[in-house]
């Protein structure tokens, strides 16, 4: 019997060139879809929807397969793969983009293969809202849809973005983006504005400071797991979203409690992501590593 | 039978002139000692150690007394009271100091009145490390001593500061100051460095993002209670420290659990502090308000 895909993830697949204060790496496997799928696949059968060029190294596709990621939705088209290049400051938080070459990503038209279309969980990674809507329209019976976004779409595609927001269960965005979208500096007020637009949940991400979940039922403060050394924070937000939806897919009942618990998994897996370049930490991660760090994080938020 | 002072707080007493984007206030009652005593006195009999000039309005002294703060250690000397003036940016976090007039504070020599000297809990607010050491030397049997500090003393008085740090139970400082003191950007490593200097506990404050407690027993992530509107964040750090030590004084056994619980009280009372100028919110606060918000904060960090 074929095992059905539980989680569909759409996003970018990229080759990243990254410089930190101490290291410099070229053409690393990256992109929101790569990180989110690697994270989600720890917990659930995950199908990738993305596009690469004919220059995309086959070893990266082999890694996806090795991690159990379904790649029927990964298109290979003539041309070059999306490339991003950036430099991190000493704080390992602020970064400057050196170059972005969309290449084949510029004409990406995401398609859900037949065996993805009944997947109950959908993560619409940070791509143009029109493309996110296009993917959503192909999902036949989604139970829970998460949409991530960024400042670019708030600035140039606000109308389709608001349409998207009204149709999903959860929106994730960072604090600056929540302020940009709503014009509210206060995060409670910004989140309330976004909730009024339709979603049940808003997650405001704050990088090393964790995240905050807002829903009609209340607020949940998602702590960040404090790590000893940040090697490369690229993809941490995508990893957070991917492990969240993967963990959520393991719950029978999708309620506030399930959402809160799954966000803790997101925080834990994202912390591992930052401990190595590319998918290196995620690829070697075991369920037991995750469970161990989750217990540690729970202890860090309990009075004992 | 005379009730003994349980908590001694030394720090500044100031008249603050503060401008935010929407409001401007002159000669408000402020200073680390005022905020910390108002907060501590919610939980414990608290004795103030500070200095004011002859211009200090008697209504402020009356407020201290009304709040139950012991003022035997508040000296009034010829001259003007310490004055600070600053402007907050729109984010209500970053601020610029317009002027600092030390006035009578410049020659402050803190003295513990006889009935303070046996107090088991001591909060050494942010003043010169030599003065903090001078106060500490007058405490006969302290059970738990907290020292707060700031970048100024790290830069100009590192030697006495390190001596102080080696003699207290807990050091509190903000993230930038922890990095400045240790040269370590990573907060776990910075905290480990400070713990090696002697204290049992280090609390790294992160403003609106909460704080992190580090001890040899582990890490406790102290969440910030998210408020709807920040009116004036001045004194929030002092309020956090004051309510922490006041709440700690209510515990029979001073252990990691008591410290963690007391830090949550610190977070809650600090959130009230930001909802009004000066001590206005703290002065009208009831124990029931604190208890209610503490329950809410616990819910915000639990999966339910």
The DSSP annotation for B85-120 comes to: EEEE-TTSS-EEEEEEE-GGGGG------GGGTT-S
Q: How far does Cα A197 stand from its chain's mean position?
A: 22
Taking contacts as CB-CB distances below 8 angstroms, the residues of chain A near B264 are 303
Strand partners, A87: A19, A96
- Chain B interface disruption, residue of A193, A207, A215, A226, most B CBs within 10 A: A226
B194: phi then psi, degrees, rounded to nearest 5 = -70, -40
B170: three-class secondary structure by DSSP? strand
CA distance B179 to B173: 10
Taking contacts as CB-CB distances below 8 angstroms, the residues of chain A near B257 are 303-304
Indicate yes or no: CB of B92 within 8 angstroms of CB of A185.
Answer: yes
Q: How far does Cα B131 stand from its chain's mean position?
A: 16
> H or E stretch including B290?
helix B287-300
- Return the CA Rg of chain B: 18
**Residue that is written with structure tokens 């720090």 in the block:** B11
The secondary structure of residue B192, as a DSSP letter, is H
Cα of first residue to Cα of last residue in chain A, in angstroms, is 46
pLDDT of residue B2: 53
pLDDT of residue A92: 85
Closest Cα to residue B172, out of B243, B111, B112? B243
In this prediction, residue A1 has a pLDDT band, given cuts at 50, 70 and 90, of: very low
Taking contacts as CB-CB distances below 8 angstroms, the residues of chain B near A219 are 226, 300
Q: Is the pLDDT of residue A188 over 60?
A: yes
Closest Cα to residue A211, out of A261, A266, A258? A266
pLDDT of residue A140: 96
B175: phi then psi, degrees, rounded to nearest 5 = -60, -45
Indicate yes or no: CB of B229 within 8 angstroms of CB of A186.
Answer: yes
What's the CA dihedral at A264, A268, A274, A278 to 10 degrees? -100
**A65 CA to chain B: closest CA distance, Å?**
34
Per-residue pLDDT of chain B (304 residues; tens, 9 = 90+): 357 899 999 999 999 999 999 999 999 999 999 999 999 999 999 999 999 999 999 999 999 999 999 999 999 999 999 999 999 998 888 899 999 999 999 999 999 999 999 999 999 999 999 999 999 999 999 999 999 999 999 999 999 999 999 999 999 999 999 999 999 999 999 999 999 999 999 999 999 999 999 999 899 999 999 999 999 999 999 999 999 999 999 999 999 999 999 999 999 999 999 999 999 999 999 999 999 999 999 999 999 7
Q: How many CB pairs under 8 A join A and B?
A: 71
Please give the structure tokens belonging to residue B140. Answer: 């006969």
**B259 CA to chain A: closest CA distance, Å?**
9
Of the two residues B198 and A3, the one the predictor is more confident about is B198
pLDDT of residue A91: 84
In this prediction, residue A2 has a pLDDT band, given cuts at 50, 70 and 90, of: low
The secondary structure of residue B297, as a DSSP letter, is H
pLDDT of residue A93: 83
Instruction: Convert the pLDDT of each residue in B260-284 to its tens digit.
Output: 999 999 999 999 999 999 999 999 9
Please give the structure tokens belonging to residue B173. Answer: 């400082």
Indicate yes or no: CB of A221 within 8 angstroms of CB of B226.
Answer: yes
User: Rounded to two decimals, what is the model's pTM?
Assistant: 0.94
- Chain B interface disruption, residue of A219, A224, A257, A274, most B CBs within 10 A: A219
Closest Cα to residue B262, out of B8, B9, B43? B43
The string of DSSP codes covering chain A is -PPPP-EEEE---EEEEEE-SS-EEEEEEE-HHHHHHHHHTTTS-EEEEEEEETTS-HHHHHHHHHTT-EEEEEEEESSPPEEEEEEE-TTSS-EEEEEEE-GGGGG------GGGTT-SEEEE-SS-HHHHHHHHHH-SS-SEEEEE--HHHHHH-HHHHHHHHTT-SEEEEEHHHHHHHHS-SSHHHHHHHHHHTS-SEEEEE-GGG-EEEEETTEEEEEPPPPPS--S--TTHHHHHHHHHHHHHTT-SS-SHHHHHHHHHHHHHHHHHHTTSSTTHHHHH--HHHHHHHHHHHHHHTS--
CA distance B222 to A121: 33
Residues sharing a CB contact under 8 Å with residue B71, sequence separation 6 or more, in sequence order: B47, B48, B61, B64, B65
Residues sharing a CB contact under 8 Å with residue A217, sequence separation 6 or more, in sequence order: A256
* Burial environment of residue A242 by CB neighbours within 10 A (0 to 12, 13 to 18, 19 or more): buried
Indicate yes or no: CB of A206 within 8 angstroms of CB of B206.
Answer: no
B199: three-class secondary structure by DSSP? coil
CB atoms within 10 A of CB B12: 24
In this prediction, residue A304 has a pLDDT band, given cuts at 50, 70 and 90, of: confident
Indicate yes or no: CB of B303 within 8 angstroms of CB of A209.
Answer: no
Apex B274 CA angle, B297 and B262, nearest 5: 45
B125: phi then psi, degrees, rounded to nearest 5 = -65, 175
CA distance A212 to A146: 15
Taking contacts as CB-CB distances below 8 angstroms, the residues of chain A near B189 are 228
Closest Cα to residue A172, out of A273, A15, A32? A32
CA distance B10 to B111: 9
């Amino acid at each position: 019997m074929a095992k059905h895909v539980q989680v569909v993830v759409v996003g970018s697949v990229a080759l990243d060139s990254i410089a930190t204060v101490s290291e410099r790496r070229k053409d690393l496997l990256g992109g929101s879809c790569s990180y989110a799928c690697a994270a989600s696949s720890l917990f659930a059968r995950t199908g990738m929807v993305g596009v690469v060029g004919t220059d995309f190294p086959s070893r990266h596709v082999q890694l996806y397969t090795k991690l159990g990621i379904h790649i029927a939705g990964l298109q290979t088209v003539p041309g070059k793969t999306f490339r991003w290049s950036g430099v991190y400051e000493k704080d390992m938080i602020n970064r400057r983009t050196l170059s972005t070459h969309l290449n084949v990503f510029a004409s990406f038209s995401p398609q859900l293969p037949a065996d993805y279309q009944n997947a109950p969980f959908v993560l619409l990674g940070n791509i143009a809202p029109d493309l996110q809507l296009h993917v959503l329209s192909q999902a036949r019976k989604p139970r829970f849809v998460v949409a991530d976004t960024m400042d670019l779409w708030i600035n140039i595609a606000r109308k389709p973005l608001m349409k998207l927001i009204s149709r999903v269960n959860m929106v994730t965005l960072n604090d600056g983006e929540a302020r940009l979208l709503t014009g509210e500096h206060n995060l409670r007020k910004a989140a309330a504005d976004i909730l009024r637009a339709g979603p049940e949940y808003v997650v405001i991400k704050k990088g090393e400071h964790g995240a905050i979940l807002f829903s009609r039922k209340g607020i949940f403060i998602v702590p960040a797991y404090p790590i000893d050394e940040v090697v490369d924070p690229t993809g941490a937000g995508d990893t957070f979203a991917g492990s969240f939806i993967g963990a959520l897919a393991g719950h029978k009942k999708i309620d506030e409690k399930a959402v809160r618990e799954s966000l803790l998994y997101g925080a834990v897996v994202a912390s591992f992501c930052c401990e190595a370049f590319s998918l290196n930490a995620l690829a070697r991660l075991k369920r037991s590593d995750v469970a161990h760090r989750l217990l540690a994080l729970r202890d860090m938020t309990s009075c004992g």
